[in-house]
Amino acid sequence: SAVISQKPSRDICQRGTSLTIQCQVDSQVTMMFWYRQQPGQSLTLIATANQGSEATYESGFVIDKFPISRPNLTFSTLTVSNMSPEDSSIYLCSVEGPGNTGELFFGEGSRLTVL
Amino acid sequence: GQQVMQIPQYQHVQEGEDFTTYCNSSTTLSNIQWYKQRPGGHPVFLIQLVKSGEVKKQKRLTFQFGEAKKNSSLHITATQTTDVGTYFCARSNYQLIWGAGTKLIIKP
């Protein structure tokens, strides 16, 4: 299994500001995934972060709005830039479990409210 | 296209009643995963199905993968309050494609 520490767990932010979410894994992993989950909705993949290269963004998400860092194999950050109320959501980081099973492990999530 | 359709969106049951959620695809699935998300929590992996017609059980939970590998179901027998949450199916492509989820609500 993988243990993921994510912070902050929640925050209330003002419109126009930026917030950086951190994700720390207890083991080295190749890929880390950042998801958004809007209230009562399913999960939407924002981007995949690989160490040593730029993140790969999904349709509808851009680097200027959601810059991602991946400085090593156990850590990643996601920044939500120039926030608006529409960015209010839960942001989740996840990693694949060992053994190539495809199973995803998730952090506890960061619940973001933008006023 | 690659989406998975999951129904129903909600299911209200009395404690002790059964619960079922269905996941359907228009294309053949290489595999299907199921996750549970408790209220206020994060998704937790339950199982992965890969074989046509596969049936797996975890205590009161029964997971099925259709013969044509285009549908899957999760059935919970005799629901308990600990079963409350949202159950998601997800298909694996180069990334996971998630169903909309089915929220299990226990009537008071």
CB contact under 8 A, A105 and B45: yes
- Measured in angstroms, the CA of A4 and the nearest CA of chain B are apart by 11
Q: What is the CATH number of the domain that holds A37?
A: 2.60.40.10
Residue A35, H or E segment:
strand A31-37
User: Is the pLDDT score of B1 beyond 60?
Assistant: no
Whether residue B31 and residue A102 make contact (CB cut-off 8 A), yes or no, is yes
Interface of A with B (CB under 8 A): 33, 41-45, 48, 58, 92, 97, 101-109
Mean pLDDT of A91-105: 87
CATH match for B5-107 among 3.40.1190.20, 2.60.40.10, 3.90.45.10, 1.10.3720.10? 2.60.40.10
Q: Contact at 8 Å (CB) between A68 and A49? A: yes
Q: What's chain B's average pLDDT?
A: 94
HEC secondary structure over B9-70: CEEEEECCCCEEEEEECCCCCCCEEEEEECCCCCCEEEEEECCCCCEEEECCEEEEECCCCC
pLDDT tens figures, A7-29: 999 999 999 999 999 999 999 99
Main-chain phi, psi angles of A111, to 5 degrees: -90, 115
Residue ranges covered by each domain of chain B: 5-107
Of B45, B92, B98, the CB nearest to A43: B98
Cα separations in angstroms, B43 against A42, B1, B27:
10, 24, 25
How many domains does chain A contain in total? 1
- Written as six digits, the tokens of A57 are 């963004």
**Predicted local distance difference test score (pLDDT) of residue A53:** 83
| Residues of chain A found within 8 Å of residue B32, distances taken between Cβ atoms | none
A18 Cβ contact list (under 8 Å, min separation 6): A79, A80, A81, A82, A83
* Local confidence band at B2 (pLDDT 50, 70, 90 cut-offs): low
Which of the four pLDDT bands, split at 50, 70 and 90, describes residue A101? Answer: confident
Peptide bond into A39 cis (omega under 30): no
Tell which residue, B53, B43, B52, B54, has the closest CA to residue B96. B43
Q: What's the pLDDT tens digit per position in B31-83?
A: 999 999 999 999 999 999 999 999 999 999 999 999 999 999 999 999 999 99
**Contact at CB, A45 and B95, closer than 8 angstroms:** yes
Among A43-52, A59-68, B5-14, the minimum mean pLDDT is found in A43-52
Q: Which of residues 66-95 of B touch A (CB under 8 A)?
A: 88, 92, 95
Provide mean pLDDT across the span A98-102: 75
Q: In the A/B pair of chains, how many CB contacts fall below 8 A? A: 42
Question: What is the DSSP annotation of A38-57?
Answer: -TT---EEEEEEETTSPPEE
Residue B14 at interface with chain A, using a CB cutoff of 8 Å: no
In this prediction, residues B90-98 reach a mean pLDDT of 86
Domain that holds residue A63: 4-114
pLDDT at A55 over 90: yes
Instruction: Say yes or no for a CB contact (<8 Å) between B44 and A43.
Output: no
Peptide bond into A98 cis (omega under 30): no
Q: Rounded to 5 degrees, what are φ and ψ at B58?
A: -130, 95
Instruction: Quote the percentage of chain B above a pLDDT of 90.
Output: 92
> Given this model, what pLDDT does residue B70 score?
95
